Structure 1
Amino acid sequence: MRRTLLILPLLVAACATPREQCISDVTRELRVMTGLVNETQANIQRGYAVAETQEVQTIRSTCTGTNDDGSSFTFPCEETRTIDRQVPVAIDLNAEQAKLASLQERQAQLQRAADAAVQQCVAIHPE
């Protein structure tokens, strides 16, 4: 799933017009900051954070094979699976509130810078 999420912006960027690519480039940091603000707000609303962990499981079963003469045989086999799990993590709500205020302040700065940069993209790449 993560690989798909990493490749998708590259595919979209390949189809973007020069103006769209320029706007995407100058707003990238703002989009990251907005994601962090949203995540922090969700943590405060829930009262805890959510961390992703991976759990490795080995599943034992019986597999079937075919001999050279065409006859079938069974044998014990194992399959290893990696499962992503989300687990709750305790947070300091006061620290999280302070972090949110700081992130929102930085987000406002980035928004102002992005607005000016987008106007430059529009001027450089008229459609």
Structure 2
Amino acid sequence: MPRNILIGLLPVLIVAACGTPQERCISRNTSEYRTVARLLAEVEGNLARGYAWEERQITRTEWDDCPYVVRGKDGERRVLYRSCLRDVVDTERYRVPIDPAAETRKRDNLEARKTALSRPAARAVDACKAAYPEDAAQG
């Protein structure tokens, strides 16, 4: 579930990086609300599955073709390849057991925090729309 959320938020992050002034204002002023919403979705997913996902970096060595440059008798450079070992880093997801009671408390606290942040976030969005009106033809 967190991966799907991340994929869903990717366009928002891209827009936040290079969006219109209104979009940047909204992104800047609703970041805490979005973070709490993302964490809440993750906790709800953990409760539904009965476990959490964590990630770790695994380094392994594999054979590859490595380029190197040699000069011929005429001074011309040529690229040749030889076998070599390279380290490759992979990300591995694994299951982690959860304490359902602790996750339930965490969910309840996040729901309360999200509810508390929803009204200020809505006001911030309205203020950003008022401060940076956009032309209806742009959207």
TM-score (norm 2): 0.70
Q: Distance in 2 between matches of 1:95 and 1:105?
A: 15
List runs of 5+ in structure 1 lacking aligned partners. none
Q: Which amino acid aligns with 2:50?
A: G
For each residue in 1:13-35, what CA deviation from the matched residue of structure 2 results, as whole angstroms up to 9, or x when unmatched? 35422222211111111111111
Q: For the structure 1 residues 108 and 68, does the alpha-carbon distance in structure 2 shift closer, same or farther, using more than 3 Å as the test?
A: same
Paired residues, number: 119
Q: CA RMSD in A?
A: 2.9
Identity over aligned residues, as a percent? 37
- State the SS of the aligned residue for 2:58: strand
Partner residue of 1:44 out of 31, 42, 47:
47
One-letter amino acid matched to 1:17: T
Partners of 2:64 and 2:125 in 1: CA distance:
57
> AA paired with 2:126?
Q
Long gaps (5+) in structure 2 = 1-8, 74-79, 135-139
Pick one of 67, 84, 89 that aligns with 2:91: 84
1:22 and 2:43 equivalent? no
Contact 2:15/2:23, CA 8 A, preserved across alignment: no
In structure 2, relative to structure 1, the CA distance for the partners of 1:58 and 1:124 (3 Å cut) is same
**TM-score scaled by length of structure 1:** 0.76
64 and 114 in structure 1: CA distance in 2 versus 1, 3 angstrom threshold: closer
